Amino acid sequence: MSHQDTYRLLISGGGTGGHIYPAIAIANAWMERHPDSEIQFVGALGKMEMQKVPEAGYSIIGLPVAGLQRSLTLANLSFPIKLFKSLRQAFRIVKDFKPHAVIGVGGYASGPVLYAAQSKGIATLIQEQNSYAGITNKLLAKKAKKICVAYPNMEQFFPKENLVMTGNPVRKDLLHLEGKKSTGIAHFGLDSERKTILVLGGSLGARTLNQGVLKDMEAFEKGGYQVLWQSGKFYFKAMQEALNKTSLRHIHLREFIREMDLAYATADLIISRAGALSVSELALVGKPVVFIPSPNVAEDHQTKNAMAFVSREAAVLLRDGEAVGKLKITVDEVLGDLVFAEQLGKNIKMLSKADAAETIVNEIEKLVA
Q: Residue ranges for the binding site? A: 16-18, 130, 171, 203, 257, 276-281, 302
Q: What are phi and psi of 165, to 5 degrees?
A: -80, 110
Q: Any idea of the CA torsion for 245, 246, 247, 250, to the nearest 10 degrees?
A: -120
What does the alpha-carbon distance between residue 82 and residue 276 come to, in Å, rounded to a whole number?
28
What does the alpha-carbon distance between residue 114 and residue 136 come to, in Å, rounded to a whole number?
10
Write out the binding residues for UDP-N-acetyl-alpha-D-glucosamine: 16-18, 130, 171, 203, 257, 276-281, 302
* Residues linked to residue 20 through DSSP beta bridges, in sequence order: none
Question: In sequence order, what are the residues at sequence separation of 6 or more whose Cβ sits closer than 8 angstroms to the Cβ of residue 205?
Answer: 231, 232, 233, 234, 235, 236
Identify the helix (H) or strand (E) that includes residue 291: strand 289-291
Question: In sequence order, what are the residues at sequence separation of 6 or more whose Cβ sits closer than 8 angstroms to the Cβ of residue 57?
Answer: none
CA distances to 9, 229, 258 from 295, in Å: 35, 21, 26
Give the pairing type, strands 101-104 and 124-128: parallel
What does the alpha-carbon distance between residue 319 and residue 294 come to, in Å, rounded to a whole number?
9
Give the pairing type, strands 289-291 and 269-272: parallel
Largest Cα–Cα distance in the chain? 64
